[in-house]
A and B are shown apart, each in its own frame.
Chain A
């Protein structure tokens, strides 16, 4: 993994592609999309926990809805209050 990381740095290539690192895109306060997830650990309208290659991502908020779920990514909407990396 370390070799891959170093290679990616040397080649200036995006790590989310080479290393499958999660990539988060937060749009405002109500939308978040996460790529390269492994799976959903916990799902409720207040907490969503996503498993990734490096850590577990905990998204807290109200009325959380998964707009779309695919093999690689997830789009979440709702009133997001916090994002934690566990």
Chain B
């Protein structure tokens, strides 16, 4: 079937009778275009007639004493006739085709990778200005955008922008952190960052001000980068030293012996919402219990659109009466973990002391840790 045949629409008819030739001659004389005339084994003739000519063959058939029956219908007009009553279906199909074409030609996701110091949000804003945003056309000039990113942001050493279907992948490589450059015009000093006692003192470069075993205060000068002697003129150095200071860190907390503890039951009320641009749409059911905990889970199903599930779990608080030792143990562990959570590998806990005071209702727990570590920092000053 040619394109012309499909657009015009045709009917495959079967002509039977004793005067099929007469039928053909009359049809051609009437200007009816007849195509693909085939003789079948049982003396019938199959032929293709355009739909507009089909209604004109009635008189031809009558005059030639032939019977005409439709064998097959095909073409655009036949198809449209079929779907004429199903307008909603046709509209739906057309709409979905338009949507597919539109959505396949726009950006639905922007993936940024490789950024460590540069925030993803600032990258997104920068890309937005260059036309890389959600629902914008995915026909973007990746190389130009990458070079613009490089030009704008001095922290980026390489950038690549590629389009993978509906997703724009932005890969960046940040410049490595540059070592601190010694500025000879500035005066560098090493000072203590805490009060304590110097446990080890190893000077690499600079001029020592204190010695091992000295008690120092926070901000006290430990190594100076400036010298002024009679032998040589004023000289500036970038001081370096491995200094360890022993210090004491104490933390305390109060806790009541009688406490309320969460007791979650199996009664749960689940609400689901669709969140669009911060607004939630859905039905909120009445909660039949007084106290409850809320657990919210969100899932992004489409840009700006989130599926939110809110679970309200009944909570019947339970009163628990601790004894002093039991509560002290809990609080002690909590405080100790709190202290060591702020320490890096360079710091070492030498000694730990625990103590508590009780007034019958509550206990006050104190944890004191003796910590050794490099509590020093290098500062610059113009003085």
Contacts and interface: CB of A to CB of B under 8 A. Distances in A.
Contact of A43 (B20, B29, B33): B20
A43 B37 contact: yes
Contact of B38 (A39, A65, A70): A65
Contacts, number: 43
Nearest to B43: A44
Interface residues of B, number: 16
Interface in B38-84: 38-39, 45
B49 to A, nearest CB: 11
B36 A43 contact: no
A40 B33 contact: no
A9 interface: no
A68 B38 CA distance: 11
A82 interface: no
A39 B21 contact: yes
B37 A71 contact: no
B24 interface: yes
Contacts of A41: 21
Nearest to B35: A68
A69 B38 contact: no
B31 interface: yes
A41 B28 CA distance: 13
Q: How large is the interface on A (under 10, 10 to 19, 20 to 34, 35 or more residues)?
A: 10 to 19
B25 A70 contact: no
B173 interface: no
B21 A40 contact: yes
A37 to B, nearest CB: 9
A86 interface: no
A67 interface: yes
A70 B30 CA distance: 9
B42 to A, nearest CB: 12
Nearest to A64: B39
A67 B112 CA distance: 63
27 contacts: A39-B21, A39-B24, A39-B25, A39-B28, A40-B21, A41-B21, A42-B21, A43-B20, A43-B37, A43-B39, A43-B45, A65-B36, A65-B37, A66-B37, A67-B35, A68-B33, A68-B34, A68-B35, A69-B27, A69-B33, A69-B34, A69-B35, A69-B37, A70-B28, A70-B33, A71-B28, A71-B29
Interface string A28-62: 00000000000111111100000000000000000
A60 to B, nearest CB: 14
Contacts of A64: 39
Interface string A70-83: 11000000000000
Contact of B21 (A43, A65, A70): A43
A41 B19 CA distance: 10
Contacts of B25: 39-40
B21 A69 contact: no
A69 B29 CA distance: 10
Nearest to A45: B39
A69 B24 contact: yes
A71 to B, nearest CB: 5
Chain A to chain B: the 8 pairs with minimum beta-carbon distance, closest first: A66-B37, A39-B25, A45-B39, A69-B34, A40-B21, A44-B39, A69-B28, A40-B24
A67 B38 CA distance: 9
A71 B31 contact: yes
Nearest to B29: A71
A67 B47 CA distance: 9
Interface string B1-41: 00000000000000000001100110111010111111100
B349 to A, nearest CB: 99
Given A66-B37, A71-B31, 20 more contacts: A39-B25, A39-B28, A41-B21, A43-B21, A43-B24, A43-B37, A44-B39, A65-B36, A66-B24, A66-B34, A66-B36, A67-B36, A68-B34, A68-B35, A69-B24, A69-B27, A69-B34, A70-B28, A70-B33, A71-B29
A27 B24 CA distance: 24
Nearest to B38: A65
